[in-house]
Each structure stands twice: as C-alpha cells, then as structure tokens.
Structure 1
Amino acid sequence: MNWKKLLVKKTIVGRLPFADNLRKRKRKIFGYLPDAENMKLTIKNYERIKDALDKSGAGIEGATILEIGSGWFPTIPILLARDGAKKVFMSDLNIHMDDITFRETVAYLKRHFPSDDYIQKITNFSSLPIEYLAPLNASNIRDKSIDVVTSNTVLEHIPRSDIYSLFLSLRPKVSDSGLMVHLIDHSDHFEHFDKSISRVEFLTWSEEKHALINYLIKDGENRMRHHEYHRVFRDSGFEVINEEVDLDEKTLEVVKTLDLVYPYSKMLPEQLAVLTSIYSLKPA
C-alpha cells in the first residue's frame, strides 16, 4: 500500500471520536486475527531478547518481568510464562488486549508450537502468571521488585523525553541485580507497507512534517538513531552492558543519496543504517 494512502487510513481511524467502540464491535463480529508474519517476527525477536538476557547473565526462570508496550497480542508475555517466569506484568499506555485478541494469540501459538505442552494446555488468561497494567503506572509497582524489564519494537514510538521519564520512574522498581533488554526498530515503519520508499525515508522529513504525521497517526516514531539512545539510558540511571546492531548494507548506500534533514545530514552513514538494536542495561 502506498504510504500516503496508509497515512490517510490511519488518520481517519485514529481520529474518529468513536474509533475504540467501533473497533471493539468489529472484533466481536468478525474477530481479529493476528498477522502471521508479524507473529513470526515477534517470536523471532523474543528469541533474540532471551539470548541477550542469557548473555547478560539473567534468566527468565523464577523472575518477575515487566514488558513495556505489550499491544493487542500478548505473545511475549505468554512465552515468558512458558519459559518459567514467576510473574509477568504486561503493560500498555491504553488497554489494547481483550478476550478476543488473547484467544487469537493462544490459537496461533498452539498452531506454531504443536508439541509444546505448556502452550497446548492454556485455557484462559487467569490461568497464567500474567497481570495486565494499562495504563502503566510505575508507582503501583513495589520498589526493587522487578528482575527484568523488556520491550519489543516499542521505544521507537515513544518521544525521547517520555523515554527518559519512563525509565526514571522504573529505575527504583528494578532490583539491584535486575536487567533491561530492549529491541528497537530504527526503520521507517511506513516502508514495511510501501517498498517504493527507503527504509529511512522519514529522515528526509522536516521537523514540522514529522510532528504533523505523528500527531495524525498517534503511533509515529521518534526517528532516534542507535547511538542516540545511550545518553537517554545513562541520564535515567542505567548503564549499557551489551548491545547488538543490525546494519543494513543496502541502506548504508541509499542514505548517501537521500536529501537528509538536520541532524541526520551530519551523521555518519554507518549511524543511519543501523535498523535494529538490542540493548542490555543494568542499574547504574
């Protein structure tokens, strides 16, 4: 789909005053099947997050875990519970998951993991060690009670100042030996639907255009590049102890031809072409 048409669609849906009620009614009538490719990618990303935890010396078994931005389909919280987490707090700014999306998530996971006894035995949400916090309010979490905080392709949708505020609020909630692992997608998400544009097309937008689009669609991106997150993490009380990056070779060449706006025009192509990052953090 052309990204401009998608923008119009997302704007109309996102700005309708009765959009949430309309969405709920539509789900009840037609259901809400998860996108199979998105689910596969989420499972793949979960494995990368789990590997990053292992490399950083943290385990899921017996841990109390907070996921930031769980969304409509609680795939990662269910997998964390399967892998031995004692307690999983899934969270969102607003309520997204409901009985329908939970049921569809479980149905997908049962098809994907046909030999997994834990997954196959899931019957309802209350049978799992998962609690849904929406809206997330860190003041409702006990100090030093969280062993792991994680997110999957969420931080890129949060303004820089709000990431700082969120991490500051979570800092006292993380145990002294706790860890954070965050997987971030630095690419232009419109490109996921429109392959005619570059994977960093939004780096050519003026600040005004970027702000307007984010206002219209509500789930826009902050455009922060990999190296820019370090200061936010540090200033909010965390230290980066490990990181992995996926540098896209094609984008590395494409950025040299784009009419980039400041500050991206002053950054190195190698900084702009990192499209996925995984950060492991500990309390500083």
Structure 2
Amino acid sequence: GAISLLPGRHHFNSLLQQRVTGSLVLSKATFDAKVSHCRHHLERFRRVRDADGPPAAALELGTGWYPIVPVGLALAGAPEVTSIDVTALLEAERVRRTLDMYAAALASGRLAGQLPGLDPTRAKRTIATARERVGATAEELLATVGVRALLGDARASGLPAGSIELFVSNNTLEHIAPDALAEILAEFGRLSAPGAVMDHFVDISDHYAHFDRSITEFNYLRYPPAVWRFFNNSLQYQNRLRASDYRRLMERAGFTVIAEEPARGAPEQLARIRLARAFRGYGRADLLVLRSWFTAVA
C-alpha cells in the first residue's frame, strides 16, 4: 500500500493500526495466545531434549510489537534469552503493557499453569523490579527481566557459534523472502549447540483474508508472481511458501524436522480457487495447510 512507500513507514503503520484498526492494542486473548506459543516452545524443548528445565540460551526471531514470548521464556527460567528483529518496533510503552499483562496473570494464579518451570515468586519480583524503572527504554526494561533485544539482520547475528539451544518464532517466517530465510536458517545452523531445537509457528494463509471477509485464506494462490508483487508490500510482505517449502528449507540448513502440526482449511474453499501456475505442482494436502508448527533438531 501507499504507507509502505513513506519515510518512517513503520511509525505511520503503527499509528494507523492503533488509531484506525485497533490491531496493536494488546488484548487478553492475544496475550494468552502468545503465552500458549511460549508454552509450546518450552514443552517441545523439554520433550525433544528429555530435559527437566529450560534451555540455557534461547533465540527468538522476530521481536515484533509486544515481546511476550521472550519475556515468557526468561520468566520460565531460561538464563539467556535473545530476541532479534530487523525492524525497530519495540517501544517502552508496549513493553510496559506486556509486563502489566504478565503481572496480572501472575496475580490471578493462572500463569503458573501456563509456563513450565515458572517460579511465581521469582517472576513477581523480576517484573516488579522492571516496572519500577521510570524512564527506562524498551531495551532496558527487557534487560531487567533477562531479555536481550537485538536490532539487526538475523542472517549475520554476530552471536557466538554453538551458543543457542532453542530457536523460536511466531507468525514470522511467512514474512521473510525465501532466499533470506534460507540464509537465516543457515545462520541458525552455525549458532546451534549440539542437539539444538527449533520450534516455529507459521501462518501460511493469505493475511489479507484476516480483515477482508470477502475472500478466503487461500485467495492469494490465484495470483501469478508478477501480479502478486502489486499486492505485496514491505509492511505486510508474504512469501506464499507452502508447508513443504518450509520443511525443505529447514532440512537444507542441516536440521531434521521431527514434528509438524498442520491446521488445514476447507477443501471446498480451495476448490473454488483457480491456482496460479506456480502452485499447481503442490499436492492438495500441502495446499490445504493454513497454519503449522514445525519442530526440528540440529
């Protein structure tokens, strides 16, 4: 869209989403969904590694607007948590909102059952310390709870080789160009400690269908690449990769995909789409996947 062409486009996009669509307001439902993702990451790590505790070092790809997952990993006891994003979306106000939501969840008692390994007393003390830091930046607030926020290209993270035990992402991989994603996964291979685990949640659907109810989540499969480029933009870039593509990219980077949890759409909706040539070589079951978890080991 036109906003993607503006200088300071991410700031304008933030204002638009807050004041017009309201999509940047952190609701309890969104918070709970992200905490659920964090729980999935922790449980997968424990199951795959046959571990009783959290990873020694975790890396999140795609910090986003609200750092719910990395804060959750830190509160659950991971001693080193890093979150990297190529775009500066963090703001102190949104980090404080995240901490407020965690404080409320702790006070209600429900968080203890949502995050394996959580020590409620320690978590309350950590959050209280961070919330007392008046005037702190987003990065300083996160550092107080044990999260290091990095702004930069994940293809060249600058982190030490063999230093990460758990890699995670949520609704992120679908927004990365295929060539760049291949390089990021190669970097993850370099960073992997022995037996490192990756756990990614990918939304494979047409994101325009999330707010345009006149189309289905399969809609973008009808457009040839040359046409899709007119709809795609830098603020809401969608790579249109299918589940098999993600699996192949992970395996090419040296990882073994050990689990997938696909959620498929309605076959009758897919049947109404005249597929662009680029998608005619995929199997029907592959095309039906709209969202999926991918768990892999180094």
Deviation at 1:15, TM superposition (A): 2.3
Deviation at 1:35, TM superposition (A): 4.3
Q: Which residue of 2 aligns with 1:220?
A: 237
Q: Does structure 1 residue 65 correspond to structure 2 residue 58? A: yes
**Secondary structure at the residue paired with 1:237?**
coil
Q: Which residue of 2 aligns with 1:77?
A: 70
Letter in 1 for 2:48: S
Q: Which residue of 2 aligns with 1:281?
A: 296
Deviation at 1:158, TM superposition (A): 0.7
Q: Which residue of 1 aligns with 2:252?
A: 235
Measured against aligned partners, the alpha-carbon deviations of 1:38-75 in whole angstroms (never above 9, x if no partner) come to 33332232233333323322655252000000111000
C-alpha distance 195-44 of structure 1, shift in aligned 2 (>3 A): farther
Letter in 1 for 2:88: I
Q: Does structure 1 residue 155 correspond to structure 2 residue 173? A: yes
Q: Does structure 1 residue 14 correspond to structure 2 residue 7? A: no
Q: Which has the higher contact order (CA 8 A, sep 6+)?
A: 1
Output the CA distance in 2 between the equivalents of 1:213 and 1:25.
21
Contact 1:53 1:280 survives alignment (8 Å) = no
Contact 1:58 1:179 survives alignment (8 Å) = no
Output the CA distance in 1 between the equivalents of 2:43 and 2:262.
14
Contact 2:82 2:149 survives alignment (8 Å) = yes
Deviation at 1:282, TM superposition (A): 1.6
Q: Which residue of 2 aligns with 1:110?
A: 103
Q: Which residue of 1 aligns with 2:115?
A: none
Letter in 1 for 2:26: P
Q: Please identify, of 38-47 and 175-184, the stretch whose mean Cα deviation from structure 2 is larger.
A: 38-47
C-alpha distance 189-26 of structure 1, shift in aligned 2 (>3 A): closer
**Secondary structure at the residue paired with 1:266?**
coil
**Secondary structure at the residue paired with 1:144?**
coil
**Secondary structure at the residue paired with 2:250?**
helix
Output the CA distance in 2 between the equivalents of 1:239 and 1:186.
20
Output the CA distance in 2 between the equivalents of 1:194 and 1:37.
21
Letter in 1 for 2:223: W
**Ranges in structure 2 where 5+ consecutive residues have no aligned partner:** 112-119, 131-140
Contact 2:10 2:235 survives alignment (8 Å) = no
Output the CA distance in 2 between the equivalents of 1:107 and 1:196.
37
Contact 1:213 1:220 survives alignment (8 Å) = no
Q: Please identify, of 35-44 and 188-197, the stretch whose mean Cα deviation from structure 2 is larger.
A: 35-44
Output the CA distance in 2 between the equivalents of 1:20 and 1:266.
36
Instruction: With the length of structure 1 as denominator, give the TM-score of the two structures.
Output: 0.85
Contact 2:224 2:278 survives alignment (8 Å) = no
Letter in 2 for 1:277: S
**Ranges in structure 1 where 5+ consecutive residues have no aligned partner:** 1-10
C-alpha distance 106-26 of structure 1, shift in aligned 2 (>3 A): farther
Letter in 1 for 2:4: G
Output the CA distance in 2 between the equivalents of 1:110 and 1:36.
12
Contact 1:153 1:183 survives alignment (8 Å) = yes
Q: Please identify, of 155-164 and 106-115, the stretch whose mean Cα deviation from structure 2 is larger.
A: 106-115
Letter in 2 for 1:61: P
Contact 1:43 1:76 survives alignment (8 Å) = yes
Aligned residues: 268
Q: Which residue of 1 aligns with 2:284?
A: 269
**Secondary structure at the residue paired with 1:80?**
helix
Instruction: With the length of structure 2 as denominator, give the TM-score of the two structures.
Output: 0.81
Pairs within 5 Å for 1:124-273: 124=130, 125=141, 126-137=143-154, 138-214=156-232, 216-248=233-265, 250=266, 252-273=267-288
Measured against aligned partners, the alpha-carbon deviations of 1:81-109 in whole angstroms (never above 9, x if no partner) come to 11110110011012211211101111222
